[in-house]
Homo-oligomer: A and B are copies of this chain.
């Protein structure tokens, strides 16, 4: 049985975050010592690993809640899991595309800056006026 600090260390998760996951019902309530301190069994460690890894892969708390519920129903078809993962993949893809557009606009803006004083700064000028951008962004 692990204390919350030990669990935190083995999972790379902060103590406060573990308590937070418990409060929002993502982590089950662990046993307690006589002095009211949490003591975790291996299954808690596995679940926290699952949560942390999913978070690192960008899944939202609500998505993880669904994934956990699905992973508890071992005999059901995994189509719902697949759909969730694909939806998230598409969201990541969209974010990448919008950041690439952004980077282009930033590059154009920065390249345009030839030094000198603020009154003639290309960056300030572009920021004031979106029509000087190549395309849409944001």
By a beta-carbon cutoff of 8 Å, the part of chain A in contact with chain B is 46, 49-50, 53-58, 67, 70-71, 73-79, 81-82, 85-86, 88-89, 92-93, 95-96, 99-100, 102-103, 105-107, 109-110, 113, 115-121, 123-124, 126-130, 137-138
Main secondary structure of the interface of A (DSSP, over half): helix
Top 5 closest pairs, chain A to chain B, by CB: A56-B138, A78-B121, A74-B119, A89-B106, A71-B124
Partner of A130, one of B53, B99, B102: B53
Given A71-B118, A74-B118, A103-B89, CB of A123 within 8 Å of CB of B46 = no
Cβ A127 vs Cβ B82 within 8 A: no
Partner of A124, one of B67, B99, B105: B67
Chain B residue contacts of A109, Cβ below 8 A: 57, 85
Cβ A138 vs Cβ B96 within 8 A: no
Cβ A79 vs Cβ B110 within 8 A: no
Q: How long is the Cα–Cα vector from A55 to B118 in the complex, in angstroms?
A: 20
Which single residue of chain B is at the shortest CB-CB distance from A116? Answer: B78
Given A70-B118, A138-B57, CB of A85 within 8 Å of CB of B110 = yes
Q: How long is the Cα–Cα vector from A113 to B77 in the complex, in angstroms?
A: 12
